[in-house]
Structure 1
């Protein structure tokens, strides 16, 4: 605006000179055609200056960052942008020791940096995008997402380490999950990011993902030539002002020459303890085959969600029966402050706080109840890994869009537990957890 004003003043002064007596005397001497040419010249100069000012303002606007959790730099017309991203999640937990019968230091109070993640993401000309994140939790560096992608109007192709397509709960970011930890089956069945090539097709309310994956970055090499085929389909219509979600997924993995066998096990609803009350023995395994179904609905401040998932372990022994396992959950949640749970691209997403604390509000409060079930027994195959049923209650406070505090309580009822207490494998465990989280 200042540049425009300066240019206008200069132009006015220049044209004003035409009206001065001195210039008038010169004009009397100059031919009429010379006066006209000089006026045209000055007008051309003014137009050139205005064009330059417009270009400068456009360049300034395109280089100025917008804010999406952290500064987002970019130029839409050139087709690029860049953003630093990350999250911090600190967990505090208490796991009871049933009848004080377990001799371990893994029970009682614990805490940890659950995730300390930093990374970058952006787009480049040609409809390409990238995302790279490293996690520093546990004094170790592990790569999370590390991929690039080509994205068109209805299709996308991804290359690198990213989630394969198993479960609504697994694909929802840890920033937006209902409880501190995902449903028990997602960890027990070893869902994780792996290196692969995948394609996504989106058309209206339908979304289809499919890909071929090898192993995660830390495991590739050394003769590991395992691979898996994964697919997930989602139908997510909006009906009567509500968001519905229906999905199904399938996974088949050939382990090939991976040695050491496979076992399935799970922590008691918090990650800061290493104890597992349910766990199968390690068995020589040639294949894994799993499939699942999922459904959810968001209606104003209320939401509900549920999943069921089956895993079959292909035993690499002559005449052995392949064991199969099951996990699932059902939950309901309600925002007391009127917000609605976020949803985007086939997963739950960020909640937009109506009255954040930085604007004098109290933030968003949500209550959630869940029943989470995991069955690692298969009597026909002779596998006794235990059954775990968790009755969970959660209270979440979101003071601003990018900060969350979670308080969770879980009552675990165990049957055929992997850890016996005075010869008893059926007992209960109480778990309390709290998380403080910020992301950007």
Structure 2
């Protein structure tokens, strides 16, 4: 049995061919129209020899290079920064202190209530293109206007060079800003041994764990007529152990007084600055030069911190007179009573405390409690300047980053005091209470 075969209709292939021809003709017409549009737009025509342009539905305009930009941030005060490298920020601080001193036997001392504007500073700081920077600040507290910082800096890589009126490299306590200290005044030896800003040139190098600082200095702005010539150096190691920050440092200071017959004098107040009493005082000592060297140690671990320093200051006396070496030092511990707060640290010194829960943002700010033992011994080589042992406590409340309130109590024991009581006693105790209100920007 066979299956019949049906022949395909001869009209079907011809119809298909006609449809294809019509589609090709329509495509050719579209290409002709596109070419005509390209000829009517000569600005879009590619140069001779260039690849033909591919038409697109839309063409985005070319991006223009960004122009100079200025940004303003707020860090206690407005800080203006320009993309060219310039920046400008006003800066200042105001500290008002008050309190009482109690002295047994009334040895002609300035005891009782006292108060003062401890610091009232205004200034500016900023950057200059090329790695330069500047800081200038005047202090209006007291009877005169005095310059604090007046520095031009240059930074390159890990190094910085500073020229002008600046802190020497003596002591962790001295280099820590007065805004960030644990007590109303720094350790007794820093003031007794004459640590202060001086005019000079210095260099600092900080890389990883290490910080090295050195400089040559003359004297401060008020004593430019002296012949003082000094050299200072400091080296710090700053290791971290987990969340703990450690600090180990050493410093050396040499000051040539310059003129025959020059003299030095070492003395100190009892914790607060608003009293004029100096219960330890060497009086005037003829000297040709000074040599000082110190050791530093500190640790910050969460809410806890500890710090200690020791410093020896030798006065080189003329002729065959023995050279006295005096000693000062302190040891302190502190703890934050508010959760999440810790003492700041930056660049080999203590830095700003920033409350984890500021007032107005669901918290009360930071509350810190500190204890310190402070020693100053000005007896040596026949010089009897007295000994001072201070036992201090402080409570610091920072409601926000830039406002601080501090309460201090100190009991100081004296031996061979420069001021005797009415009964002639030179060994006695003094009690001091001091409070501070502070704002900075």
TM-score, structure 1 normalization: 0.86
1:81 aligns with 2:81: no
> 2:437, 2:154 → 1: CA distance?
35
Offset of residue 266 of structure 1: 0.2
Q: Specify the alignment match of 1:398 in structure 2.
A: 398
Deviations 1:354-392 (A, max 9, x none): 1101213111000000000000011xx211100000000
SS for the counterpart of 2:80 is strand
Q: CA deviation at 1:225?
A: 2.0
Aligned to 1:435: 436
Paired with 1:352 and 1:303, the residues of 2 have a C-alpha distance of: 15
What CA distance in whole angstroms lies between the structure 1 residues aligned with 2:258 and 2:427?
37
Deviation at residue 260 of structure 1 after TM alignment: 5.4
3-state SS of paired residue (2:370): strand
Separation in structure 1 between the aligned mates of residue 41 and residue 221 of structure 2, nearest angstrom: 74
Q: Secondary structure at the match of 1:358?
A: coil
**CA separation of 1:246/1:205 partners in 2, compared to 1, >3 Å: closer, same or farther?**
same
Residue 345 in 1 paired to residue 352 in 2? no
The DSSP-based 3-state class of the residue aligned with 2:223 is coil
Whether 2:329 is the aligned partner of 1:323: answer no
Structure 1 residues 44 and 248, CA, compared in 2 at 3 Å: closer, same or farther?
A: farther
Structure 2 counterpart of 1:103: 108
1:47 aligned onto 2:61? yes
Once residues 44 and 165 of structure 1 are traced to their aligned partners in structure 2, the CA distance between those partners, rounded to angstroms, is 65
The counterpart of 1:366, out of the listed 361, 365, 368, is 368
> Partners of 1:70 and 1:363 in 2: how far apart?
20
Task: Work out the CA distance in 1 between the residues paired with 2:227 and 2:58.
Answer: 69
Task: Tell which structure's C-alpha radius of gyration is larger.
Answer: 2
The offset of 1:202, in angstroms, is 1.3
Task: Give the match for residue 231 of structure 1.
Answer: 233
Unaligned runs of 5+ residues in structure 1 are 1-27
Structure in which a larger fraction of residues adopt helix? 1
* Residues 211-248 of structure 1 deviation map (CA, whole Å, 9 limit, x = unaligned): 11000111103xx2210110000000101220000000
Stretches of structure 2 lacking an aligned partner (at least 5 in a row)? 1-32, 46-56
Match of residue 13 from structure 1? none
Match of 1:336 in 2: 337
In structure 1, how many angstroms separate the alpha carbons of the residues matched to 2:279 and 2:335?
31
Matches for 1:41-440 after TM superposition, within 5 Å? 47=61, 51=64, 55=66, 59=68, 62-75=69-82, 77-99=83-105, 101-104=106-109, 106-221=110-225, 224-257=226-259, 261-316=263-318, 318-338=319-339, 339-378=341-380, 381-421=381-421, 422-440=423-441
Whole-Å Cα distance in 2 between the matches of residues 371 and 191 of structure 1? 20
Contact conserved, 2:205 with 2:212, CA < 8 A, in 1?
Answer: yes
Q: 1:252 to 1:33 in 2, by over 3 A?
A: same
> Superposition RMSD on alpha carbons, in Å?
2.2
2:37 to 21, 24, 32: 32
Shift, 1:102, TM fit: 2.1
Contact 1:226 1:258 in 2 (8 A): no
Question: Normalising to structure 2: TM-score of the pair?
Answer: 0.86
Change (3 A) 1:45 1:109: farther
* Pairwise CA distance, 1:44: 11
State whether residues 303 and 335 of structure 2, in contact with CA within 8 Å, keep that contact through their aligned partners in structure 1: yes
Paired residue secondary structure (2:149): strand
Cα distance in 2 between the residues matched to 1:227 and 1:144: 20
Instruction: Report deviation, 1:33.
Output: 3.0
- How far apart are 1:257 and its partner, in Å? 1.8
Cα distance in 2, alignment partners of residues 416 and 321 from structure 1? 20
SS at match of 2:263: coil
Spell out, residue by residue over 1:130-152, the C-alpha distance to the aligned partner (whole angstroms, 9 max, x if none): 11110000131100111111111
Give me the whole-angstrom Cα distance separating, in 1, the residues matched to 2:39 and 2:358: 67
